Amino acid sequence: MNRITLITGGARSGKSRLAEAETLARRPADGSAAYLATAEARDAEMAARIAAHRARRGPEWEDIAAPLALAQALDDSDGRGPRLVDCLTLWLTNLMLGGHDIDAATDALLAALARQRDPVVIVTNEVGLGIVPDNALARAFRDAAGLLNQRVAAVADRVVLVACGLPLVLKDAEQERKGTA
């Protein structure tokens, strides 16, 4: 079974629902799954989004806040079942707004992913398909998100692009090993 899955797509494309289903499918019948949340409720709209996600998930999920220390949260939760990271671009936003070293944090994340025994499903946004942003911060974010997504996709066993609620598998190491891709 693929250990690391990256699910990408645009806003409201169905990424989180697919990621939740894939994560739950990997848990033992009597087990739970962990939701590593990177979002921070910085305003009322984000607080409402977080509440809606929690309500949709239900009680079989353990919520773990990981707005910055994502690599540590992965390491701390490994061995307890599958995890869902939602989402990398919010994590990147937190890093950028806090003035953190993005390259060092990405290196730590990739090292943590390499250590994981239990499955990890990661959600990210594909932000580079639209027009060029009109300000330097937005362009820096778009570029950093693209590079982050490329680095995580390179180490992921499976990469899925979601558009209009439909998944398109871009990479599947398990199928490639079987010679069926």
User: What residues are annotated to the active site?
Assistant: 53
Map tokens 């990147």 to a residue.
92
- Return the SS3 of 35: strand
Residue with tokens 């190491």: 173
Rounded Cα–Cα distance for residues 83 and 8 (Å): 16
Helix spans in the chain (H): 15-25, 44-57, 70-77, 88-97, 102-115, 136-155, 173-178
Q: Map residue 58 onto helix, strand or coil.
A: coil
* Dihedral angle over CA of 3, 144, 12, 156, nearest 10: -10
Indicate the angle between helix axes 102-115 and 70-77, nearest 10 degrees.
10
Of 160, 177, 178, which is closest to residue 169 (Cα–Cα)? 160
Widest CA span in the chain: 50
